[in-house]
Structure 1
Amino acid sequence: MKPLFILLISTAWTLIGAQYYYQGLMDYLENRLLAIEDRMQLWHEQFHRHHTEMLDFKKLAAEAMNGLRNDYSMMYKNLEGASVQVDRVEREMDYVESQTSPRACTNRVNKVVEQEAWGPVEREEEEEEDWEVLHSRVSDCAEIISGIRSVKILKRVGSSKGMWTRDPRSSKVYIFNGTSGDTLHQFNSVRDFSRSLEVMSSGNVKLPSEWNGLGSAVYNGYLYYIKKEANADVQVVKYDLLRGSVTETAMFPVESQASLYSLNPETVADLAADDEGLWLLYTPSDSEPNISLAKMDAATLDIEQIWDTRCPRENAEAAFVVCGTVYVVYNTRLASRSRIQCVFDVNDIVISEEAPLIYFPRRYGAHASLKYNPEERQLYGWDDGYQIIYRLTMKRKLLV
């Protein structure tokens, strides 16, 4: 009996211990669950607060965006109005410039009054003698520019600087992309060029040497370009575009590093073609402040005559020749409106009253090049990568 009693007592104590153990475990688990519930309640409250703050922020952001949209719309309308006003002011300026007295630096032999007579203090014999001297210098080309008739922006292709031109004796168009290279791009017409997707889609003409600067010219089936090599004189090269060969070269006594236009320092010389033939604009040295002009024989590249135009190189961006008259275009370092500010007539006919200060319509930047076509009476301009055509209006010179 005694062992059985001991076994019963031991079993009872074991059961009592297990009961206390499980009760403690249950209490522990209950406390943990209560702590988790408290934590979940705290998270729920924090989530609700953050959600409320997010909604408030979203509402404020939407209101701010609506305000910005309204401000943008108002600013856009103001800018459109300002653009309309600027265009109107520019048109009024162009009209005023066409009506007011011109300002230009021009070369003239003597003053001539509007009645086409000499000053009253001169003797009759001197009048006849001076008239003969002046009249002998008059060429068959008797027109000067009176204004810009219209502007056509053809497209934008290639580099920010370049040159394009059309042969006066054909419809072909030639593109010089960049400021130097040994390749030019040829198109059959202006229409073909306008429809092309890029410059490289044209027929390329590979030259035997590099052209330098933006002073090339195409005239009567020939390409005339400037070749500049290190430690060598500047050369004018005549290239037959039909046969694909160089026919003539001529050395020109100028400094290879002297820039012709201060705003386009890559150009050391500029070839131009007009009704009277081929011309070369250059500067003898970097210390010379003015632009010089030379009349060239288009066949042999011989220099026939040289003039000092007295048109400064400073702030000049381009120049072109029309009927033996040089028109130099000026701008500012921070590109503004290009303007013809200096005119030089090799025949000494154009006087100050005939040389208007012509402004080009404000476009994108500054002209890298301007090339005149005497058959169309148009300028082919390259402005910050845009190819532009300016149609000119002409008038007869006073004494012709």
Structure 2
Amino acid sequence: MKAIIFFILFTILTPCFRGQYHYQGLMNYLENRMIAMEERIALWHEQNNRYNADLSEFRQQSTDLLEKLAKEYNKVRLDMEGAGARVDRVEREMDYIETKNPPKPCVKAADKMVEQDVVVKERNKDEFFEVSVCVNLVSSIRAMKILKRLGSPKGVWTKDARSAKVYVFNSTSDNTLYEFNSVRELSASSEMSKSRQITLPSAWNGTGHAVFDGFLYYISESSELRVIKYDLKNGTVADSAVFPIEDNSPVYNLNPETLVDLIADEDGLWALYPSGDTINLAKMDSNSLDIEQMWDTACPRSNAEAAFIVCGTVYVVYNTKPPSRSRVQCVFDVNDMVSSGEAPLVYFPRRYGTHSSLKYNPEERQLYAWDDGYQIIYKLALKKKLWAIMPPPEE
């Protein structure tokens, strides 16, 4: 009987023991997982604290480095300002030295004209013919004025010597000419479109244009190189002629767009054009566009950027491909009356790049220059040529 009762109790209680064992195992598993999670959280907190410490140290180091960098920057800036001031002082001293002791420029003049007595004799020969009767010679640049910056890096602005109107050629190839009533109007204008716009019958080439006595003279290149004479008052083409040039190289190597440079001075219209490695000069009839006379100036085209003519004397301006200081380094006088000792070596104040054009106004005795889009005026100091101030020979 007891055995039967024990069997019945065992049968009844066995499932209860099994359920209690299963529940205890689940609790042990959950407890182990919680312990593992707590360990990982503790590890994360430890790593996070370490990262925060590293970040704080990095921020402190960055702050210290930035402070040191700011101090070094201020030191370098002060050193550069000091160096700039010293360079400016050296350039002024160089200008003074170059003015007092100029080296011999490239001048094509007859050897017989170096001595004054020979110059006087040549001056009074019956067969001597003066192309230019003007006696002024450039001695230095007296002042400079930067008017404004308007337009493309390369271009031309110029004035007719007999008018107050200003003409602007924006870029090296276009057919729209901008006319301003005065330099003051150009200076006050913020846009080209506010001026009078003149549409030319053909596009110009390069920066070798000239305005003279109410007419525009410019080079138009299509199948051939042609000089166009345009009446600015009537808006018509007054004449045109093919320029007799076989070399299509630029007249100035630093301005490859300009094949011929037309220039007006006290004596009329001139043209500078390439011939091999040098620059040639032609005197043109402003009415008929005929070429009256031609010269080989012996001035090299290499490193030439522009030129201007004053009283029949050509002044070729040179620079370098990495822009430096523009300088007159070659002078040629059509009358062969400028000796090597008399020819000036003129330095331009250092500006932005290289001149794309230099146009002389004989009435104002100043140059209208275009330099990297800036319109600049150079006032020239002139003197008399040596042979013009010498007394006549005794009979």
1:111-153 C-alpha deviation (Å, 9 max, x unpaired): 254xx5349xxxxxxx757523487528442211100111222
Measure, in 2, the Cα distance between the counterparts of 1:240 and 1:307.
Answer: 29
SS of corresponding position for 2:386: coil
Measure, in 2, the Cα distance between the counterparts of 1:301 and 1:142.
Answer: 25
Relative to 1, partners in 2 of residues 1:256 and 1:108: Cα closer, same or farther, differing over 3 Å? closer
Contact 1:102/1:352 (8 A) holds in 2? no
- What's the counterpart of residue 176 of structure 2? 183
Measure, in 2, the Cα distance between the counterparts of 1:142 and 1:46.
Answer: 91
Of residues 306, 328, 347, the one that matches 1:359 is 347
Relative to 1, partners in 2 of residues 1:131 and 1:11: Cα closer, same or farther, differing over 3 Å? farther
Within-5 A mapping of 1:152-167: 152-167=145-160
Structure 2 residue 215 is the aligned partner of structure 1 residue 222? yes
- What's the counterpart of residue 233 of structure 2? 242
- What's the counterpart of residue 117 of structure 1? 117
- What's the counterpart of residue 267 of structure 1? 258
Q: What do you get for the CA RMSD once the two structures are aligned?
A: 2.6
SS of corresponding position for 1:38: helix
Measure, in 2, the Cα distance between the counterparts of 1:271 and 1:39.
Answer: 88
Within-5 A mapping of 1:140-219: 140-219=133-212
TM-score by length of structure 1 reads 0.89
Within-5 A mapping of 1:1-400: 12-109=13-110, 110-111=112-113, 113=115, 116-118=116-118, 131-133=124-126, 137=130, 139-230=132-223, 232=224, 234-255=225-246, 257-283=248-274, 285=275, 288-400=276-388
Measure, in 1, the Cα distance between the counterparts of 2:138 and 2:171.
Answer: 29
Contact 1:138/1:349 (8 A) holds in 2? no
46-55 or 335-344, larger mean C-alpha shift: 335-344
Would you identify which runs of 4 or more consecutive aligned residues in structure 1 move more than 4 Å?
Answer: 2-11, 127-130, 133-136
Contact 2:132/2:334 (8 A) holds in 1? no
Measure, in 2, the Cα distance between the counterparts of 1:255 and 1:85.
Answer: 49
Relative to 1, partners in 2 of residues 1:13 and 1:180: Cα closer, same or farther, differing over 3 Å? same
Measure, in 2, the Cα distance between the counterparts of 1:172 and 1:294.
Answer: 27
Measure, in 1, the Cα distance between the counterparts of 2:42 and 2:121.
Answer: 116
Relative to 1, partners in 2 of residues 1:134 and 1:29: Cα closer, same or farther, differing over 3 Å? farther
TM-score by length of structure 2 reads 0.90
Structure 1 letter corresponding to 2:117: A
252-261 or 100-109, larger mean C-alpha shift: 100-109
- Structure 2: segments with no counterpart, 5+ residues: 389-395
Measure, in 1, the Cα distance between the counterparts of 2:182 and 2:338.
Answer: 34
Report the Cα offset of residue 204 of structure 1.
2.5
Structure 2 letter corresponding to 1:111: M
1:202-241 C-alpha deviation (Å, 9 max, x unpaired): 43321111111110111222111001123x2x11101112
- Structure 1: segments with no counterpart, 5+ residues: 120-126
Contact 1:217/1:273 (8 A) holds in 2? yes
Relative to 1, partners in 2 of residues 1:257 and 1:128: Cα closer, same or farther, differing over 3 Å? closer
Relative to 1, partners in 2 of residues 1:79 and 1:201: Cα closer, same or farther, differing over 3 Å? farther
Q: How many aligned residue pairs are there?
A: 386
Contact 1:90/1:361 (8 A) holds in 2? no
Structure 1 letter corresponding to 2:344: P
Structure 2 letter corresponding to 1:397: K
Measure, in 2, the Cα distance between the counterparts of 1:128 and 1:146.
Answer: 25
178-187 or 247-256, larger mean C-alpha shift: 178-187
